[in-house]
Structure 1
Amino acid sequence: MFMKGINFAIAMGIAILLPMLVFYGVKTFSPAPNWEDYHTGQFFEEPPAEDITPAEKAEMARQREEASARYNAANKQHQMHLFFTAVPVGLIAVIAGTFIRVPALAPGMVFGGIVTLVEGYLFNWPELSDPIKFVSLLTALIVLGITAYRRLGSDEKKKTLDG
């Protein structure tokens, strides 16, 4: 019973740490944009109405919109880096978990891979095109299906041969 508890703890540790590793790895090499770097206080602290002309007010609004557009573009780029890192790493972890025969490591890699896949999707879902969503989800489901067949199917064969 003690070993099952240790195996479970190790598997959960991998499942929690793998997506965190991917998230902070991407953040390290492709930092998320900082909102304050794109939006300075001058955009939001308009001078009193008597000190500003309508043309100046319109120019400030245009600058705000441009800053927001630049920030949104940088944020989208960061999110895509996360997606295109998290999804492949998640798939590789699930596949690796299929081949690993160590009791704690195999389920940890599979759980960690699944959570990493979910992380890649959740942070980026609105930014993804429908074809990317479809192909990547189809790939993930195929990998999970093969994993289930390979792991669970081999366990059933073993039980049949042993029984």
Structure 2
Amino acid sequence: MKGINFAIAMGIAVLLPMLVLYGVNTFSPPPEWEDFHSRQLYEAPTPETITPEEKAERLRLQQEASEKMEAARKQYQMRLFFTAVPVGLIAIIAGTFIRIPALAPGMVFGGVFTLIEGYLINWQELSDPIKFVSLLIALIILAVTASRRLASQEKT
């Protein structure tokens, strides 16, 4: 029976971050290259037919498209972060209240993996204060839930 509990817990731990990722992708899809770039801008013209002004304009348009795509990518990553981190924290908290042997560790591990997903995808875009405060909150929640869980196990 312990093997089944472990399998269920690991299934929840793996599926929760995937659910968050695909949920965000469903309602707010990540930006696609084709949405911002025209293939015509990247097709190489013959050197005899393009003027320096046309070449400069193509480069400007390529740069502008890349900047717009980068802004959309950052916005998508922030949406994923602000979804994954709260869901991860809620899953960790829920896991401490659940008394079902397979479900409780699955929710806690799933919450931790979802937190990791939220941070890893967006780490370079987060400001230091957001990193600090959100990691502090996550650590406090983990410590409180661990102490609560261990205290309740000692009573039984």
Looking at structure 1, the residues matched to 71 and 35 of structure 2 have their Cα atoms a distance apart, in angstroms, of 13
Looking at structure 1, the residues matched to 28 and 70 of structure 2 have their Cα atoms a distance apart, in angstroms, of 15
Looking at structure 2, the residues matched to 139 and 38 of structure 1 have their Cα atoms a distance apart, in angstroms, of 37
Out of 84, 87, 90, which is 1:89 matched to? 87
Looking at structure 2, the residues matched to 133 and 157 of structure 1 have their Cα atoms a distance apart, in angstroms, of 36
Out of 113, 116, 119, which is 2:114 matched to? 116
What does residue 21 of structure 2 align with? 23
Out of 123, 130, 133, which is 1:135 matched to? 133
Equivalent residue pairs, number: 156
Which secondary structure state, in structure 2, belongs to the residue aligned with residue 51 of structure 1?
coil
Q: Which amino acid aligns with 2:111?
A: G
Looking at structure 2, the residues matched to 53 and 153 of structure 1 have their Cα atoms a distance apart, in angstroms, of 76
Q: Supply the RMSD in Å over aligned alpha carbons.
A: 0.9
TM-score, with normalisation over the residues of structure 2?
A: 0.97
Aligned 1:1-163 pairs, distance under 5 A? 3-158=1-156
Give 4+ residue runs of structure 1 displaced > 4 Å after superposition. Answer: none
Deviations 1:13-56 (A, max 9, x none): 00000000000000000000111221121121120111111111
Which secondary structure state, in structure 1, belongs to the residue aligned with residue 48 of structure 2?
helix
Identity between Structure 1 and Structure 2 (%): 73
What does residue 161 of structure 1 align with? none
Q: Which amino acid aligns with 2:122?
A: N
Looking at structure 2, the residues matched to 152 and 63 of structure 1 have their Cα atoms a distance apart, in angstroms, of 59
For structure 2, the 5+ residue unaligned runs are none
Looking at structure 1, the residues matched to 38 and 25 of structure 2 have their Cα atoms a distance apart, in angstroms, of 23
Q: Which amino acid aligns with 1:55?
A: E
Which secondary structure state, in structure 2, belongs to the residue aligned with residue 50 of structure 1?
coil
Looking at structure 2, the residues matched to 70 and 48 of structure 1 have their Cα atoms a distance apart, in angstroms, of 28
Looking at structure 1, the residues matched to 55 and 26 of structure 2 have their Cα atoms a distance apart, in angstroms, of 38
Looking at structure 2, the residues matched to 51 and 111 of structure 1 have their Cα atoms a distance apart, in angstroms, of 60
Looking at structure 2, the residues matched to 153 and 130 of structure 1 have their Cα atoms a distance apart, in angstroms, of 34
Q: Which amino acid aligns with 1:106?
A: A
Q: Which amino acid aligns with 2:81?
A: F
For structure 1, the 5+ residue unaligned runs are 159-163
TM-score, with normalisation over the residues of structure 1?
A: 0.93
